Protein backbone atom coordinates (compact mmCIF):
# COMPACT_ATOMS: atom_id res chain seq x y z
CA UNK A 1 0.00 0.00 0.00
CA UNK A 2 2.91 2.38 0.71
CA UNK A 3 4.28 1.63 -2.77
CA UNK A 4 0.92 2.56 -4.28
CA UNK A 5 0.82 5.80 -2.27
CA UNK A 6 4.37 6.70 -3.41
CA UNK A 7 3.43 5.91 -7.00
CA UNK A 8 0.27 8.02 -6.76
CA UNK A 9 2.23 10.91 -5.21
CA UNK A 10 4.81 10.67 -8.02
CA UNK A 11 2.06 10.71 -10.66
CA UNK A 12 0.52 13.75 -8.98
CA UNK A 13 3.89 15.57 -8.98
CA UNK A 14 4.39 14.77 -12.68
CA UNK A 15 0.85 15.93 -13.50
CA UNK A 16 1.34 19.11 -11.46
CA UNK A 17 4.65 19.82 -13.26
CA UNK A 18 2.95 19.30 -16.63
CA UNK A 19 0.14 21.69 -15.69
CA UNK A 20 2.67 24.31 -14.54
CA UNK A 21 4.68 23.92 -17.77
CA UNK A 22 1.51 24.31 -19.85
CA UNK A 23 0.52 27.42 -17.88
CA UNK A 24 4.01 28.89 -18.40
CA UNK A 25 3.80 28.22 -22.17
CA UNK A 26 0.37 29.86 -22.25
CA UNK A 27 1.71 32.92 -20.36
CA UNK A 28 4.63 33.30 -22.79
CA UNK A 29 2.30 32.98 -25.80
CA UNK A 30 -0.12 35.53 -24.33
CA UNK A 31 2.69 37.97 -23.47
CA UNK A 32 4.03 37.65 -27.03
CA UNK A 33 0.55 38.28 -28.46
CA UNK A 34 0.08 41.33 -26.24
CA UNK A 35 3.47 42.74 -27.30
CA UNK A 36 2.50 42.36 -30.98
CA UNK A 37 -0.84 44.09 -30.38
CA UNK A 38 0.83 46.91 -28.43
CA UNK A 39 3.45 47.37 -31.18
CA UNK A 40 0.72 47.53 -33.84
CA UNK A 41 -1.22 50.15 -31.84
CA UNK A 42 2.03 52.14 -31.39
CA UNK A 43 2.50 52.04 -35.18
CA UNK A 44 -1.07 53.32 -35.66
CA UNK A 45 -0.45 56.15 -33.18
CA UNK A 46 2.83 57.10 -34.89
CA UNK A 47 1.06 57.23 -38.27
CA UNK A 48 -1.84 59.22 -36.76
CA UNK A 49 0.55 61.86 -35.35
CA UNK A 50 2.57 62.14 -38.58
CA UNK A 51 -0.62 62.36 -40.68
CA UNK A 52 -2.04 65.35 -38.81
CA UNK A 53 -2.56 68.47 -40.90
CA UNK A 54 -0.40 70.59 -38.58
CA UNK A 55 2.44 68.05 -38.45
CA UNK A 56 5.58 69.53 -40.03
CA UNK A 57 7.52 66.86 -41.94
CA UNK A 58 10.53 69.17 -42.10
CA UNK A 59 10.70 69.24 -38.29
CA UNK A 60 8.95 66.02 -37.17
CA UNK A 61 10.15 66.18 -33.55
CA UNK A 62 8.53 69.57 -32.92
CA UNK A 63 4.82 68.78 -33.29
CA UNK A 64 2.99 67.85 -30.06
CA UNK A 65 -0.30 66.00 -30.53
CA UNK A 66 -3.02 66.07 -27.86
CA UNK A 67 -3.32 62.63 -26.20
CA UNK A 68 -7.10 62.99 -25.76
CA UNK A 69 -7.42 63.52 -29.55
CA UNK A 70 -5.34 60.38 -30.16
CA UNK A 71 -7.57 58.39 -27.77
CA UNK A 72 -10.72 59.74 -29.41
CA UNK A 73 -9.73 59.53 -33.09
CA UNK A 74 -7.05 56.82 -33.26
CA UNK A 75 -7.27 54.25 -30.45
CA UNK A 76 -9.01 54.22 -27.04
CA UNK A 77 -6.00 52.55 -25.37
CA UNK A 78 -3.55 55.10 -26.75
CA UNK A 79 -2.54 56.55 -23.39
CA UNK A 80 -1.46 53.14 -22.02
CA UNK A 81 0.46 52.27 -25.21
CA UNK A 82 2.18 55.67 -25.30
CA UNK A 83 3.24 55.12 -21.67
CA UNK A 84 4.86 51.80 -22.67
CA UNK A 85 6.83 53.50 -25.47
CA UNK A 86 7.57 56.78 -23.68
CA UNK A 87 11.25 57.57 -24.19
CA UNK A 88 11.70 55.02 -26.98
CA UNK A 89 9.11 55.69 -29.70
CA UNK A 90 7.27 58.65 -28.18
CA UNK A 91 8.09 61.60 -25.96
CA UNK A 92 5.34 62.59 -23.52
CA UNK A 93 5.10 66.22 -22.40
CA UNK A 94 5.68 66.98 -18.71
CA UNK A 95 1.95 67.73 -18.25
CA UNK A 96 1.13 64.26 -19.72
CA UNK A 97 -1.40 65.84 -22.11
CA UNK A 98 0.62 65.86 -25.36
CA UNK A 99 2.98 63.52 -27.14
CA UNK A 100 5.68 63.88 -29.80
CA UNK A 101 7.29 61.28 -32.03
CA UNK A 102 10.78 60.40 -30.82
CA UNK A 103 12.38 59.79 -34.26
CA UNK A 104 12.66 61.69 -37.52
CA UNK A 105 11.16 58.82 -39.52
CA UNK A 106 8.72 55.98 -38.73
CA UNK A 107 11.19 53.28 -39.84
CA UNK A 108 13.82 52.60 -37.19
CA UNK A 109 15.37 49.38 -38.50
CA UNK A 110 18.90 48.80 -39.75
CA UNK A 111 20.73 51.74 -41.37
CA UNK A 112 21.54 49.49 -44.35
CA UNK A 113 17.87 48.75 -45.12
CA UNK A 114 16.00 50.77 -47.72
CA UNK A 115 12.23 51.12 -47.40
CA UNK A 116 9.36 52.65 -49.36
CA UNK A 117 8.25 56.06 -48.10
CA UNK A 118 5.62 58.75 -48.55
CA UNK A 119 6.40 62.47 -48.29
CA UNK A 120 4.23 65.54 -47.72
CA UNK A 121 5.80 69.00 -47.80
CA UNK A 122 4.38 72.16 -46.21
CA UNK A 123 4.02 73.62 -49.74
CA UNK A 124 1.43 70.85 -50.45
CA UNK A 125 3.77 68.88 -52.69
CA UNK A 126 3.50 65.12 -52.20
CA UNK A 127 5.66 62.28 -53.51
CA UNK A 128 6.74 58.75 -52.75
CA UNK A 129 10.07 56.98 -53.11
CA UNK A 130 11.47 53.46 -53.00
CA UNK A 131 14.71 54.93 -51.65
CA UNK A 132 13.94 56.08 -48.12
CA UNK A 133 16.06 55.34 -45.09
CA UNK A 134 16.05 55.58 -41.31
CA UNK A 135 16.15 59.26 -40.23
CA UNK A 136 16.99 60.60 -43.74
CA UNK A 137 15.24 63.40 -45.66
CA UNK A 138 14.63 64.16 -49.32
CA UNK A 139 14.32 67.69 -50.66
CA UNK A 140 11.04 68.89 -52.10
CA UNK A 141 11.26 69.65 -55.85
CA UNK A 142 8.96 72.67 -55.49
CA UNK A 143 10.41 74.54 -52.51
CA UNK A 144 13.71 72.71 -51.79
CA UNK A 145 12.80 72.07 -48.12
CA UNK A 146 14.25 69.00 -46.44
CA UNK A 147 11.28 66.69 -45.76
CA UNK A 148 11.19 63.42 -43.82
CA UNK A 149 8.76 60.64 -44.82
CA UNK A 150 5.60 60.47 -42.72
CA UNK A 151 4.99 56.82 -43.61
CA UNK A 152 7.38 54.00 -44.50
CA UNK A 153 6.92 50.30 -45.16
CA UNK A 154 8.78 47.26 -46.40
CA UNK A 155 9.66 47.15 -50.08
CA UNK A 156 7.62 44.72 -52.15
CA UNK A 157 9.09 42.45 -54.77
CA UNK A 158 7.61 43.26 -58.17
CA UNK A 159 8.02 41.66 -61.56
CA UNK A 160 10.39 43.97 -63.46
CA UNK A 161 9.26 42.54 -66.81
CA UNK A 162 5.79 44.07 -66.40
CA UNK A 163 5.55 46.84 -69.02
CA UNK A 164 3.39 49.11 -66.83
CA UNK A 165 5.96 48.91 -64.03
CA UNK A 166 8.96 49.63 -66.26
CA UNK A 167 7.23 52.51 -68.06
CA UNK A 168 6.32 54.24 -64.77
CA UNK A 169 9.81 54.00 -63.27
CA UNK A 170 11.60 57.31 -62.65
CA UNK A 171 15.28 57.86 -61.87
CA UNK A 172 16.19 58.58 -58.25
CA UNK A 173 17.11 62.24 -57.71
CA UNK A 174 20.50 61.92 -55.99
CA UNK A 175 20.90 65.68 -55.54
CA UNK A 176 17.80 65.82 -53.30
CA UNK A 177 18.48 62.68 -51.26
CA UNK A 178 20.32 63.02 -47.94
CA UNK A 179 21.60 59.43 -48.08
CA UNK A 180 23.02 59.84 -51.62
CA UNK A 181 24.70 63.11 -50.65
CA UNK A 182 26.29 61.55 -47.58
CA UNK A 183 27.52 58.52 -49.55
CA UNK A 184 28.64 60.56 -52.56
CA UNK A 185 26.92 58.04 -54.85
CA UNK A 186 23.56 56.45 -55.57
CA UNK A 187 22.10 55.21 -52.28
CA UNK A 188 20.62 52.02 -53.73
CA UNK A 189 23.37 49.89 -55.24
CA UNK A 190 21.77 46.65 -54.01
CA UNK A 191 18.25 45.56 -53.18
CA UNK A 192 17.61 45.32 -49.42
CA UNK A 193 14.42 44.28 -47.71
CA UNK A 194 13.58 45.43 -44.20
CA UNK A 195 11.27 44.36 -41.43
CA UNK A 196 8.95 47.20 -40.39
CA UNK A 197 9.25 48.28 -36.76
Q: What is the pLDDT of residue 169?
A: 61
The pLDDT tens digits of the residues spanning 109-137 come to: 998 899 999 999 999 999 999 899 999 99
Cα–Cα dist 70/63, whole Å:
14
pLDDT at 161: 54
At 41 the pLDDT is 95
Which phi and psi angles does 42 have, rounded to 5°?
-60, -40
pTM: 0.77
Q: Is there a contact between 181 and 137 (Cβ–Cβ < 8 Å)?
A: no
- pLDDT number for residue 191: 41
pLDDT at 59: 96
Instruction: Give the sign of the dihedral formed by CA 110, CA 131, CA 106, CA 55.
Output: positive
Q: How many CB atoms lie under 10 A from the CB of residue 190?
A: 6
pLDDT the model gives residue 72: 95
Q: What's residue 98's pLDDT? A: 95
Q: Which residues of the chain have pLDDT under 50?
A: 163-167, 190-197
**How does DSSP classify residue 59?**
S
Amino acid sequence: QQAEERSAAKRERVRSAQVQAEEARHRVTEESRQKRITAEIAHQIDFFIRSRRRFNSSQPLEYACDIVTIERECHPEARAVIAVYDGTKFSVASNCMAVRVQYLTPFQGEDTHRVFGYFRCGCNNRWHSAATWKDKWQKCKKCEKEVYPYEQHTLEIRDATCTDETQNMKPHDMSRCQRCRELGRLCMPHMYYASYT
